[in-house]
Amino acid sequence: MIRAFVDRIETTEQGDALAVLLIRHDDGEYLRWLCPLAWLPPNTREGDWLRIQFTLDTETKAEVRAEIESLLHELQGDS
């Protein structure tokens, strides 16, 4: 599991709220991630800590692969 610190919240020129997350990468080094505030739990504020967990999305992988294969067959004329 990864922990991220909500360093600050910014607003883009388009009016979208972004959270600037800091994720410890190495000794004393941090990765900065700009994340839409809407993706985060409700009431997330500057100074909060988040737990981030990545999981594989095999369903989407299969759907995209099928779409790509279909397009390739179409481009190759293998209707």
Average pLDDT over residues 56-73: 96
| pTM exceeding the 0.85 threshold for the entire prediction | no
* Three-class secondary structure of residue 13 per DSSP: coil
Determine the structural domain holding residue 50 and report its residue range.
2-75
Does residue 79 surpass a pLDDT of 70?
Answer: no
CA angle (22 as vertex; 15, 38 as ends), nearest 5: 35
pLDDT (tens digit, 9 = 90+) per residue, 12-60? 999 999 999 999 988 889 999 999 999 999 999 999 999 999 999 999 9
**Overall domain count for the chain:** 1
Of residues 56 and 77, the one with the higher pLDDT is 56
pLDDT (tens digit, 9 = 90+) per residue, 3-18? 999 999 999 999 999 9
